[in-house]
Structure 1
Amino acid sequence: MPVTEVTTDPEALTMTLTADVAASVDRLWDAFTDPRQLERFWGPPGYPATFTQFDLEVGGRARYVMTSPRGEQFHGLWEFLEIDGPRSFTALDSFADADGQVLADMPTSRMVFVFEPTETGARLRNTTYFDSADALEQVVAMGAVEGSTMAMNQLDRVLEGLRAYAAGKGTQTELLDDTHVRITRLIEGPRDLVWRAHHDPELLTQWLLGPDGWRMSVCEVDPVVGGRYRYQWEPVGDTEGEAFGFDGETLLIDAPRRSVTTEHMTGTDFPSTLNDLTLDEEDGATLITVLIEYPDKATRDMVLATGMTDGMETSYARLERTLVSA
């Protein structure tokens, strides 16, 4: 993970994040000053950022919005004060409303980003200066330390490139905390087609089957906010097992980039999970990221113990074969 340290200093009124990466200073600068790259890691998992404005010049502004899995939006505004590429830039960071107006009842801080070479690559040092101890405490209480750590720990996949980051590694499972798991899998194929494969019943029934010996007997999809879906699988031939299924509701749709659904095991009183699907394309390949939110650690561990990762890998490998003929 790139982040090595996050510290707060109540006397200096600062929060400082340090991260080391295996990339050049120029590459790191590009990631922070290209909005399409920046928005892939600026928001923590589950709260991706979308930059709607990015004028990298003294006096220029950048506007962005972070969208939660349930669709809540949190707007931010930067005003660039100093730019010394590729070594550093400074910006005022403010909470904003949907029209880009600064929220007067929320703290505005000054952020200084410094990029330095190291023996193994480059170092990011991001120091945020607050006007008062109350402002620092307020932002820390909102989860700034945890959120910035999780956000900057996504840098690797951007700096390395998706193929170097994920190609040939199959389905990877990361435990982010007691209730969140991140699943990643690189698929050879364009994002639009991978998106369609996740929402078109004709394609879903060809690949979303888990282990061999099962078929999807029910595939009902209504990919709109508030729409419901229902999947059911049953064994075929000599395969042992009983039919089972999942149902849920679509909470967010941002085609072809992101969709968020609930997932409940049909016919049970098991609690639902929240499944946050994100697709990123680079060089003809698409990285599938599924952030799963469980109700508690016990449920998380129970689901992972079923061999979920292996079953997903079988399905994703089948998805790649399906896309070839789609």
Structure 2
Amino acid sequence: MNEEWLIYRGVGEPHDGIEALPDPPPWRDFDGGPVGEPGGPADTADGNVTRRLGAHRQAAELHRPEPEELEAINAALYLRRPLLVTGYPGTGKSTLAHAVAHELKLGRVLRWPVVSRTVLQEGLYRYDAIARLQDVQIAASGGPPWGPPAGPPGPAPGAGPGRAAPPVPGIGKYIRLGPLGTALLPTERPRVLLIDELDKSDIDLPNDLLNVLEEGEFALPELERVADTEPEVQVLTDDGAKVTVRGGRVRCRAFPFIILTSNGERDFPAALLRRCIQLKLGQPGEKRLATMVRAHLGEEAARLGADLIREFLSRSQSELVAADQLLNAIYLTHHAAPPTREDLADLLIQRLDRPR
């Protein structure tokens, strides 16, 4: 494969290849602004690199993807399209997001885990209307309900001549952008967003995502209603930083690199599929499993666990098993003496498709 066009090369070492990413196609060119800071702490700040990619990742070169993986990831980068990654549990779907963010120096991965009750607004932003109402009531009463110690009857606190009621904080204090909302903030470099296990959602969420993924923007009605008097409002991001939202709308400039993962438990609407680059991950082979063990547990563990890797591969031909089960088994059996070692491996590598 000609690798000259690749922005993400899967080498595992951070580099500035994102600077070589050409302008987007006209139909995926967004003009949000003004451009803010890239945002988000580095992955190393919260330990995600070591936890997700392995403490020995440099020696193992774990995340050197197959050519079809590299092509799909780079197609998503070039076309500014989400990458829909399908595969069995433990095939490394979520890890791809962390590998791309680490290598291209795109900061912390924004993660939005999906469950059956997840709705679109949770990914965009949260507005705590109850807390705001409580603060308004406290301010109207002249202070917090616990107030000063009881004393002789007199005017209510804050109600006397020359005394103003405590101010009510601005509406921005009660709004926090979610992972998707934070990813769509206007920045020069794209953020990396992981929408994990989309197939766990209810039937509406994939369709609800269509407009946001196509237009790269969303509105905050609570801020649009006060835009005449408060055209600029500071809110919190998913990273915990403060940013300014203007006119009650957020529009991206660099479309985020979005990975949507699915275990293949359901079909998605054609309207979503045509907006995504699709990648299907198969079960890892012996070489990839060995490098995964080497990346997380070191060379000696990979050597001593070779028999467990072969046993895992044999079982994976007829059973649904996950690679993290293999990691657990090798880690624990590395500290156990025979014959307990084999018993522990059987205990930890349980088939996931066992009939109930």
More helix by share: 2
TM-score by length of 2: 0.22
TM-score by length of 1: 0.24
Question: Which one scores higher on RCO, CA 8 angstroms, separation ≥ 6?
Answer: 2
More strand by share: 1
